[in-house]
Amino acid sequence: MNYNDQYAYYRRAVEETLRCAVPADVPNPLGDAMRYSLLAGGKRLRPVLLLAAYAILQRDLTPALPFAAAVEMVHTYSLIHDDLPAMDNDDLRRGRPTCHKAYGEGMAVLAGDGLLSLAFETMAQSRHPRAFAALGELAARCGTRGMVAGQCVDLTAEETGGNAELLRYIHLHKTADLLTAPLAMGLTLAGAGEDLLAQAREYGKNLGIAFQIIDDILDVTGDEATLGKHTGKDAQEHKCTWVSLYGLDQARKDAKTYTERAADSIKNDENAAIFLKTLAQRALVRVQ
């Protein structure tokens, strides 16, 4: 299978799992608000990373699917909360009105909370023998020393102006942690040893930094219709970004450097490992 077919294959498996992930007995409008954001599309990058990492060692993806869905739930919760007026105050996400625009702020807070807890419930119910380790990895990376910490520093840097050290912290935690988690989870579930896990962590860190630099660039140069969200927000909100600190040209060079570092971190030559190298290169030239 070529790269595009492989990505589409992983993505389809995730979409099928997500379609019925929110239980029917969640009261409405909460259940509808959760499904509205979870099933709105998106690249499904994090679950694809999890399945690709798992596929380095295992053939049958079925046992990894609840974990792939859980990572996307956590990502979607973070987007819903990030879009709230108290944070980035966005009204467009994934090409449609943000959750709070469609369901109100209170329901959007609850939809985010609901997706976060449903993610952990889904992993716990999988009964996978390594579920606890995978779940711990996600908890650490999305929590108060991971993504939430990155978001905290991102918010405070709007007031202080930020600097290179803060920016690296923001990129590592707000973005790279939630790309590293699925890689480490997929490998852990598949029974990988420390050597492969270390390669994946290095890959995730560098991919995450490159991915966020590109996100910063796209906020300046990207097309709103293609991105499915508004651009120009970073400058409006005085955000500390790679572009605001280093300028567009340097940002492009740095994105390339971190992408190369990510690809070089993977030493394994299984098809699924080569897929990860290609994914990093594709992420560098992404337009959405």
Under the rule (CB under 6 A), what is the footprint of ligand GRG?
A: 42-43, 45, 75, 78-79, 81-82, 94, 147-148, 151, 174-175, 212, 215
Distance in angstroms (rounded) separating the CA atoms of residues 64 and 52: 10
**Residue 43 vs 253, nearer CB to ligand GRG:** 43
**Residue 78 vs 265, nearer CB to ligand GRG:** 78
The answer to whether 192 and 56 have CB atoms below 8 angstroms apart is yes
**Residue 57 vs 148, nearer CB to ligand GRG:** 148
Q: Measured from the CB of residue 191, what is the shortest distance to ligand GRG in angstroms?
A: 28
**Residue 79 vs 200, nearer CB to ligand GRG:** 79
Q: Measured from the CB of residue 102, what is the shortest distance to ligand GRG in angstroms?
A: 16
Q: Measured from the CB of residue 169, what is the shortest distance to ligand GRG in angstroms?
A: 13
**Residue 55 vs 179, nearer CB to ligand GRG:** 179
- How does DSSP assign the chain, residue by residue? --HHHHHHHHHHHHHHHHHTTS-TTSPTTHHHHHHHHHTS----HHHHHHHHHHHTT-S--GGGHHHHHHHHHHHHHHHHHHHSTTTT--SEETTEE-HHHHH-HHHHHHHHHHHHHHHHHHHHHT--TTHHHHHHHHHHHHSTTTHHHHHHHHHHHHHH---HHHHHHHIIIIIIHHHHHHHHHHHHHHT--HHHHHHHHHHHHHHHHHHHHHHHHHHHH--HHHHTS-SSHHHHTT---HHHHH-HHHHHHHHHHHHHHHHHH----SHHHHHHHHHHHHHHT---
Q: Measured from the CB of residue 75, what is the shortest distance to ligand GRG in angstroms?
A: 6
**Residue 83 vs 137, nearer CB to ligand GRG:** 83
**Residue 237 vs 270, nearer CB to ligand GRG:** 237
Q: Measured from the CB of residue 138, what is the shortest distance to ligand GRG in angstroms?
A: 13
Q: Measured from the CB of residue 216, what is the shortest distance to ligand GRG in angstroms?
A: 8
Closest residue to bound ligand GRG by CB: 42
Q: Measured from the CB of residue 152, what is the shortest distance to ligand GRG in angstroms?
A: 8
